[in-house]
Amino acid sequence: MVQTENIEKVYLFEKDRVNSFKKWPYSGSSPCNIQKMAEAGFYWQGDDKEDEDTSVCFVCGKVLDGWEESDDPWEEHKKHAPQCLFVKYGRPEAEMTCEEMLNLLEVILKGRIQSSYTALKDCLKAHIEKKRKEMTKQLSKN
Ligand SMILES: [Zn+2]
């Protein structure tokens, strides 16, 4: 069975990125509207308080806030994350090939595995360090 809720969390599809925006300061006619943000690869990670325009690229994970109404989301993405594969493709989802979509998914999943691995490694290091200290303490008592 395909777990569709997992693919939504990856924000691979533009519609999932559009749906992530619970609030946004700029409306339909603005160059920086929700549709343009999602098209340029951003999903919303704001909250109800001061960080209401915090947005993240679904491929490179670049976090940007402080958006101006006249900002072009593609231009901002290019400026702040020129290494991003989505920026390199430089086209909205509708103009992408299936292979390109899969390449994006590969980059996203590799990034997630890497960060899970790093978190696990840090956890293990902390655990070993704690054990080492306990043993040292124990030895000094004897
Ligand atoms: Zn990016």
- The per-residue DSSP string of 115-142 comes to HHHHHHHHHHHHHHHHHHHHHHHHHHH-
Distance (angstroms) between ligand 1 centre and the Cα of 126 equals 32
pLDDT band (50, 70, 90) for residue 21: very high
pLDDT digits (tens, 9 = 90+) for 75-123: 999 999 999 999 999 999 999 999 999 999 999 999 889 989 999 999 9
* pLDDT tens per residue, range 67-85: 999 999 999 999 999 999 9
Per 3-state DSSP, what percentage of the chain is helix, strand, and coil (rounded to 5)?
A: 55, 5, 40
* Cα of 15 from ligand 1 centre, angstroms: 17
Tally of domains within the chain: 1
* List of E strands, the chain: 42-44, 55-57, 63-64
Q: State mean pLDDT over 8-24.
A: 92
Q: Is 38 exposed, middle or buried (0-12, 13-18, 19+ CB in 10 A)?
A: buried
Contact (CB, 8 A) for 107 and 57:
no
Q: Structure pTM?
A: 0.81
CA of 61 to the centre of ligand 1 (A): 6
Q: Of the ranges 44-48, 57-61, 78-82, 118-122, which one carries the lowest mean pLDDT score?
A: 44-48
Contact assessment for residue 18 and residue 35, using Cβ atoms and an 8 Å cutoff: yes
Phi, psi of 6 (to 5 degrees): -70, -40
102's tokens: 């899969």
Q: Which domain covers residue 25, as residue numbers?
A: 4-140
Return the CATH number at 23: 1.10.1170.10
Dist. CA 114 → ligand 1 center (Å) = 17
> With contact defined as beta carbons under 8 Å apart, do 55 and 81 qualify?
no
- pLDDT grade for 43, boundaries at 50, 70 and 90: very high
CA distance 60 to 106: 12
Name the token pair of 36: 């343009």
Spatial contact of 105 and 10, defined as CB atoms under 8 Å apart = yes
